[in-house]
């Protein structure tokens, strides 16, 4: 009976570890996709800032660029 519980415990532990690894792999894929999306948004704003714009537009673009870069720094460091 004791051996049965040991085997059950080991099996449960293996299932938990496998699930955690799967979740981590999925999280990495999601993070990678999110980081690529952020990079695209940053490139788009930087390209827009190379074109003529008003002072008000420049203020908004700079603020948005700062937000995106801050998020990229927090979420996309390896």
Q: State the pLDDT confidence band at 35, using cuts at 50, 70 and 90.
A: very high
pLDDT score, position 52: 97
pTM of the complete model:
0.65
| Three-class HEC string of the chain | CHHHHHHHHHHHHHHHHHHHHHHHHHHHHHHHHHHHHHHHHHHHHHHHHCCCCCHHHHHHHHHHHHHHHHHHHHHCCC
What is the structure's pLDDT at 28? 83
């Amino acid at each position: 009976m004791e051996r049965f519980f040991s085997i059950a415990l080991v099996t449960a532990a293996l299932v938990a570890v496998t699930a955690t690894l799967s979740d981590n792999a999925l999280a990495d894929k999601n993070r990678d996709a999110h980081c690529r999306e952020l990079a695209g948004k940053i490139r788009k704003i930087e390209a827009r800032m190379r074109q003529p714009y008003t002072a008000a537009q420049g203020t908004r673009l700079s603020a948005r660029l700062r937000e995106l870069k801050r998020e990229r720094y927090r979420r996309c460091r390896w």
